[in-house]
Amino acid sequence: MAYIIHGSFGKSTIGYSDADREALYLYFDQSVLYPGTILRQSWHSGAWLPPEVMPRRVRLKQAKTMYDWMLLQGGGDLVSARLRDTVEELDPGRHQFFPVVVEDKSGDVRPEEFFIFNVVGRIDSIIEERSNLEASGRGWVENWSYVRRVGPWQCALDTAVIGDRACWIEHRYSLRWFISDRLATVLRKRKFRGFRLDDYSEEVSR
């Protein structure tokens, strides 16, 4: 089993400076996803991101609660050290976690450790004939992708392609983070807060 995972804004608002936002989006605008494509990199494209363009500080702009997973204003996902450690436990060395200093509304530094999380890795594991998805642009453009058909969600993923991954991006159904059932089970068991799991997908062998 696998799920699409989303962070949540919740009741707290946290973000980075205008200067950091400009630097990030200048990088995204100038960086293609992979050689030979016109697709640009983004927060959820599965590409490696250079540490030098990452913000070093974020500020809690509203409310006081910090969750294990928070969406940043301007883009990006902020996770707690505990959540970082859990992903590394199941998927070691594959993804990026950029440490940031978290300030409260007054500018005082909070003691908790938090990281901007970037899932790295694009795979093509969707089994089309067992999914309620249809190909858009196949035969016309190299960067064709799947779109969801009308009706209930159904998506089958090839376990041989997924391997031991706990998090990944689907090459033909991108801009979403998929996580394995193994990781989802641990996140629930350890009672992490600040995310939701949608669109259960079956992991099967061909």
The pLDDT profile of the chain, 206 residues, written as one tens digit per residue, is: 899 999 876 667 889 988 998 999 899 999 887 777 777 889 999 999 999 999 999 998 876 778 999 999 888 999 999 999 999 999 999 999 999 999 988 888 999 999 999 999 999 999 999 999 999 988 888 788 999 999 999 999 999 999 999 999 999 998 899 999 999 999 999 999 999 998 999 999 87
Instruction: Return the pLDDT at 9.
Output: 66
88-110: pLDDT as tens digits: 999 999 999 999 999 988 888 99
What is the DSSP track for the chain? -EEEEEE--TT-EEE--HHHHHHHHHHHHH-BSSTT--PBP-TTS-----GGGS-SEEEEEE-S---SEEEPBTS-EEEEHHHHHHHHHHSTTTSEEEEEEEE-TTSPBPSS-EEEEE---EE--B-GGGSSEEEESTTT-TT-EEEEPSSS---EEEHHHHTT-SEEEETTEEEEEEEEHHHHHHHHHTT--SEEEEEEEEEE--
Q: How many angstroms separate the CA atoms of 187 and 83, rounded?
A: 8
Instruction: Return the pLDDT at 10.
Output: 67
Across-strand partners of 168?
A: 178
Residue 164 CB-half CA count within 13 A: 8
- The residues, any chain, with a CB within 8 Å of residue 173's CB and separated by 6 or more, are 126, 133, 145, 146, 155
Task: Name which of 80, 83, 96 is nearest 12 in CA terms.
Answer: 80
- Residue labelled with tokens 């993804």: 95
